[in-house]
Structure 1
């Protein structure tokens, strides 16, 4: 294994070049690289273009060359190392290109896979890629459990012992000031305008509570799926929400901070979500969150939970800083949850207090980076 400052392994992080909006995976990758660098690791970021996941035959071939020869695909930053570094490949690239990983493993250069989201629609490709990997690092326990259930056992030695470890390195959070909120209450949905994020369902739920005072902002890329973004804008007009709901596009810096500051309730109702970093970003600001039950966002909602120290009404599970709502295609359950929150001051206070308590328990990105470093160092 390559050494990097005080015996640290050098790391090459291969990430997709075709995800241009501010996704959770992109944010995780950037924070991981920064955290590893702070720990004294020489990190090179290599961006590889392609129609990932799966990509074309030529794109997969370029990945194979990159894995084998240590090239930078024309997009790396940082200095090269004399000894091949440990390679970590974003799952969006790796899980659909098993042959490239198999060739790297056969050459004695097995790569790690950083799994932000599974490739469930191609289980055979996913299983082969995982079997060829040095190991998988999942961004949530939800993702790890699903991979183990779908592919266990992945690979065994002659004694029948599994040889492909699946680890978990939860996303960290950055410290942020507590949100001041607004009057009337302000809903915030931070997510790219994409069908999976289900902003259309959210808008129909909001249309059902127009008799109550509130405002809402949709913050996220409107360029990732222009047709869906246009459908969202049309729904806002058609539902008569033009004076209540704004589409802000992708925001950064002070503009995004201003949206966080005026939020009272965060909403992430994705149809599928491995974790949902926006949930912990909300909690870091003392903002409670409503998520879709059955997704990884439920795990994120409990990230700052004290365990059993704080019991919910009636005892049992600890009070959560928000709620997980069972949702399909009917907006009525979400409408009921939002109406109850708006109409019940005691509930709003309880969720807010739980969110403020959670923000003090959330791990930082230094913990994430240290966890990943421990995994790859132990395997060396």
Structure 2
């Protein structure tokens, strides 16, 4: 693989604050001419004016996770402003890489790009989770924001499934907390390392009710433990979920922003033991075919050398 300068700059999203902008500017100026520079799109796409002076002396490679204007809750004017900044950045780039085929198509269509490469995120191996008898331990791992749809899951659980036995743990930073009344719902805040591993190990079903998602790494993290997944069919989630070698789906895909469909899928999971067994078998089989980080590195290397 070629020598690549990777720039990681902290700061507020989607446009870095002044100290982060200054740090990015210094980092770019210090990189030798004709170098490959890999920059996260969450930073790069908000500051095309910092990249423009370097477009001819550096190979700028931008990795796009989520188009800036696709963030849930933006007003039309802000979305348009971010879309124009992102468009300017991506047309400065030598190479654009997306994290799913769906994201690549979205970026291509939005910004009139003809060759967006794809490097699907890998996942680390993990031990199988041990299922409980009733399958009632539900887990959602995601920052608590409108885009991730935790409010839809709370609504489905409290209004439609109150008579069933379940518990639901939400792991992730509380960016916008969701009100709830059930004692069976718990928001833990963020977890990492052994604490996050324990959360997955003590779950039966992983739930991701996102309104938008370019890939969904948490989906493959759940599948790596053999956990079936209930997720909305948005962006690259279907790619992350994939299929077992026999063609079966290791979980459920439902329409976004539909608490009724979410409740119906949860009801089936909680009341049909045979279905739970089938989905667990499919998830365990899918576990053996998940992408690795070596695969990701190979795809990025191919994009850089194209």
| Both proteins in one fold, TM over 0.5 | yes
Question: Which residue of the other structure, out of 114, 124, 138, is the alignment partner of 1:174?
Answer: 124
Distance, in Å, in 2 between the alignment partners of 1:295 and 1:287 is 21
Find 2:250's aligned residue among 321, 327, 334: 321
SS at match of 2:50: helix
2:213 paired residue number: 273
RMSD of the alignment, in Å? 2.1
Distance (Å, rounded) in 1 between the aligned partners of 2:85 and 2:244: 36
2: CA distance between counterparts of 1:58 and 1:248? 31
Change (3 A) 1:83 1:104: closer
Aligned residues: 293
Q: In the alignment, which residue of structure 2 is the partner of 1:342?
A: 270
Question: Match of 1:267, SS?
Answer: strand
Task: Pick the aligned partner of 1:217 from 169, 180, 196.
Answer: 169
Match of 2:7 among 5, 11, 14: 14
Say whether the 8 Å CA contact 2:155–2:259 is kept in structure 1: yes
Partner SS, residue 206 of structure 1: helix
How far off its partner does 1:56 sit?
5.6
Give the one of 345, 348, 359 matched to 2:287.
Answer: 359
Where 1:150 maps in the other structure, the secondary structure is helix
Structure 1 counterpart of 2:76: none
- 1:343–1:124 Cα change, 3 Å: same
Q: Distance in 2 between matches of 1:374 and 1:216?
A: 41
Residues 257-286 of structure 1: CA distance to partner in whole angstroms, max 9, x if unpaired?
A: 221112110001111111010000011111
TM-fit CA distance, 1:135 = 0.3
Alpha-carbon contact 2:205-2:227 (below 8 Å) kept: yes
TM-score of the superposed pair, with normalisation by structure 1: 0.72
Tell me whether 1:134 sits opposite 2:134 in the alignment. no
1:127-150 per-position Cα deviation (integer Å, ceiling 9, x unaligned):
211111010111111110101111
C-alpha deviations, 1:14-47, integer Å up to 9, x for none?
12413xxxxxxxxxxxxxxxxxxxxxxxxxxxxx
Cα distance per residue 1:267-309 (max 9 Å; x no partner): 011111110100000111110111112332222111x543xxx
| 2:62–2:93 contact (8 Å) kept in structure 1 | yes
Larger radius of gyration: 1
CA contact (8 A) 1:68 1:109 kept: no
What runs of 5+ residues in structure 2 fail to find an aligned partner?
A: 70-78
Check whether the contact 1:64–1:104 (CA below 8 A) recurs between aligned residues. no
Equivalent-residue separation in structure 2 for 1:57 and 1:193 (angstroms): 26
SS of equivalent residue, structure 1 residue 111: strand
| 2:107 maps to 1:147 | yes
Deviation at 1:362, TM superposition (A): 0.7
- Find the partner of 2:180 among 204, 218, 236: 236
Question: What is the correspondence of 1:1-380 to structure 2 with a 5 Å cutoff?
Answer: 8-18=1-11, 51-55=12-16, 60=21, 62-70=23-31, 85-106=35-56, 108-120=57-69, 121=79, 122-152=82-112, 154=113, 165-184=115-134, 185-207=136-158, 208-222=160-174, 225=175, 228-229=176-177, 232=178, 235-237=179-181, 241-242=182-183, 244-302=184-242, 304-306=243-245, 310=246, 318-328=247-257, 330-376=258-304, 378-379=305-306
Q: What is the CA-CA distance between 1:221 and the residue it aligns to?
A: 1.7
